[in-house]
A and B are shown apart, each in its own frame.
Chain A
Amino acid sequence: QSALTQPASVSGSPGQSITISCTGTSSDVGGYNYVSWYQQHPGKAPKLMIYEVSNRPSGVSNRFSASKSGNTASLTISGLQAEDEADYYCSSYASSNTPWVFGGGTKLTVL
Chain B
Amino acid sequence: EVQLVESGGGLVHPGGSLRLSCAASGFAFSSYWMRWVRQAPGKGLEWVANIKQDGSDKYYVDSVKGRFTISRDNAQNSLYLQMNSLRVEDTAVYYCARDNQWASDMWGQGTMVTVSS
Which A residues form the contact surface with B (CB < 8 A)? 2, 34, 36, 38, 40, 45-48, 51-52, 55, 57, 89, 91, 93, 97-105
Contacts and interface: CB of A to CB of B under 8 A. Distances in A.
Interface residues of B, number: 22
Interface stretch (B14-22, B66-74, B83-91, B100-108): B100-108
Nearest to A51: B103
Contacts of B102: 34, 36, 51-52, 93
Contacts of A46: 37, 45, 95, 104, 107
B31 interface: no
B109 A97 contact: no
A45 B109 contact: yes
A98 B62 contact: yes
Contacts, number: 60
A38 B37 CA distance: 13
Nearest to B107: A45
A52 B101 contact: yes
A100 B107 contact: no
A38 B45 contact: yes
Given A2-B44, A38-B45, A45-B109, A99 B103 contact: no
A36 B104 contact: yes
A1 B55 CA distance: 30
B100 to A, nearest CB: 8
